Amino acid sequence: MCGIVGYTGKRRAGPILLDGLSRLEYRGYDSAGMAVRDGNKLAEVVKATGKLIHLADKTDQGRALEGTCGIGHTRWATHGDPSLVNAHPHVSGNCTGSASGPVESEVVGVHNGIIENYAELKEKLLRHGYTFYSDTDTEVLVKLVDYYYNKYKIGPVDAITRTMVRVRGSYALGLMFQDYPGEIFAARKDSPLIIGTEEDASYLASDVPAILKYTRDVYYIENLQVARISPGHVSFYDLNGDERSLPLTTITWDASAAEKEGYEHFMLKEIHEQPEAVQNTLNSLAAEDEIHLEEAGITQEFLAGLREVDIVACGSAWHVGMAARVLLEDLAGVPTRVELASEYRYRSIPTQDDTLVVIISQSGETADSLAALRAAKERGAATLAVVNVVGSSIAREADHVIYTKAGPEIAVATTKAYSAQLIVLYILAIALGAAKGRITSEQKAGYIRELRTIPDKIRRILEEKERLQWFSSKIVNAHDIFFIGRGLDYAMSLEGSLKMKEISYIHSEAYAAGELKHGTISLIENNTLVVGLLTQSALYEKTLSNMTECKARGAYLMGITPNGNFQVEDSVNFALYIPRTDEHFFPSLAVIPLQLLAYYTSVNRGLDVDKPRNLAKSVTVE
């Protein structure tokens, strides 16, 4: 979840590191730090607590640091509280670890991940004369590298591989050695790490946006590999120290996609980018009235042979799965389970070779989802990854992969990636229904044509955002909000509730509307906001009845429903109308006002929309 950057070349490293960290701050913003080497001089380490601006001020925007080789880090705290002493980089020398200036230390390092056996390793190092200044597992990791490097008088690559064999957990690691000026060493297990190159410089980063300004040519370092990075050159090694070759990938994203481009926040920009994300994803999977999944290795025969689908995901991606289940069972008649990845990996779920396990992850690096993917493969199931990042771990390890075309998503709260994931699952459900003979060619073509209308309908909703901005000002002081619905509407309620709580910090919950009377309605008080989703015609009256039961107990009601259902105004306090579409596809439309409501509520509360407290974009640790 933390962000790592590195640079070695001919230019001053400090400003480049700081620029890269600014594009990774969504990965963590408890503290930040940099270590820069100037030739054979000692590394200069500077740290600051809080957001990156404090490190920028402390280093004169990075210009105060001499040297052309360095590593940087922005932290999401795991081991040890957010403090100066626990901030990265960490050093192997016996110093305070918090003072700015030159640090006499053999090894300096930054780390993203969790070392599970760090306490055991710390005891070992204490017995060998090491002392510790922080509460972090990272300091243990850096000092273990130093221990092997000095005890066995071996090179950095061998010292790192010995360490990798000894530690348990996940890590992306960037290191500098005092004896190797101008070089950076990196290693990874499960946590993401990429390396970019140009003619006379090389870059290290946790994610593409950090280096997209400087190069589009990147290597995705593989699991349990080490990289030796010098200006314009990278070598890769396996755990035996044998050199390996990796393919160079060219990033096709437009660099402007990682900029705000005049929007106040990335989240608002990404909400407005959803029509394009939906259109691009749909175009990549369907042409005219036909679906094309051959690039993912998914054939009609493969689909026809499936008897069950398991969808495994976390957070908003899990909500996509909850909506997709309705379509897969309705259109394809295939039993579908939706599992939280953090639960799936620890359950003994019976799985056959005619089961398709779909792993949904924006980053393709979500720790629990990656572990669930590996568990599914061990159980003999076919696996399909739905991810947004080319070359990510989940994409590489799955049997099949479909990429969403959302482009880089910077705000912690997902919007456009969620919408693109919905499109992929719609297409999968339609293709599976056709392969199973549950829907005709004409019906399939009709569904595809209807999906092509979704982008324009999203734009029409966005044109009415001022009403939601006004409404959010009325509910900005709410203490509790309940989102309710049935069927697909319940799946949308889950996402609406998550969006509200994660960026506005208002307590919110989602409930299947029919479950209210089984306990939850006891929480309704005067002016409690209840947001009802009313898009499914067969369930409309039942959900509206549940809402009016809440109103009778003092609740304030908001209803989201298709155009034409104007009678809803007789029952709710505030009604929002969305364009009509096939009822299977309403999640793509109803989610837009839910996103906007959460966004404007957060803004009206004066909060940091893009970087909500305690959260990070990519959850790469368990």
- The enclosing H or E element of 73 equals strand 69-75
Q: Which of 436, 211, 200 is nearest to 306 (CA)?
A: 436
Ranges of H-type helices in 93-155: 118-127, 137-151
Please tell me the distance from the alpha carbon of residue 428 to that of residue 422, in angstroms, as a whole number. Answer: 10
* Helix ranges, 367-521 (H): 367-378, 393-397, 416-435, 441-451, 454-462, 465-474, 488-504
CA distance 582 to 563: 13
Active site residue: 47, 465, 499, 617, which one? 617
Q: Where are the domains of the chain?
A: 3-251, 259-452, 462-609
Catalytic annotation, pick one of 2, 69, 314, 550: 2
Has 314 been annotated as catalytic?
no
End-to-end CA distance of the chain: 10
pLDDT at 95 over 90: no
* Cβ-contact 561, 575 below 8 angstroms: yes
Burial of 532 (0-12, 13-18, 19+ CB in 10 A): buried
Residue 621's pLDDT is 59
Distance CA 595, CA 600 (A): 9
Q: Two tokens at 62?
A: 């990075």
Q: What pLDDT does 228 receive?
A: 98
**Nearest CA among 173, 245, 207 for reference residue 390:** 207
How distant is the alpha carbon of residue 38 from its chain centre? 35
CATH topology of domain 462-609: Rossmann fold (3.40.50)
Tokens at 285, concatenated: 């999977």
- The yes-or-no answer on residue 377 being catalytic is no
259-452 maps to CATH 3.40.50.10490: yes
Rounded Cα distance, 492 and 462, in Å: 18
β-pairing, 107-115 with 169-177? antiparallel
What pLDDT is attached to residue 156?
Answer: 97
pLDDT band at 1 (very low <50, low <70, confident <90, very high): low
Asked if residue 600 has pLDDT above 70, the reply is yes
- pLDDT tens per residue across span 15-36: 999 999 998 887 777 899 999 9
Three-state SS at 459: helix
Q: Do domains 3-251 and 259-452 have the same CATH topology?
A: no
- State the Cα–Cα distance between residues 201 and 185, nearest whole angstrom: 14
What confidence tier does 126 reach under pLDDT thresholds 50, 70, 90?
A: very high
Residue ranges of E strands in 528-592: 529-533, 556-562, 574-578
Bridge partners of 173, per DSSP, are 111, 187
pLDDT at 616: 65
- CATH code reported for the domain at 3-251: 3.60.20.10
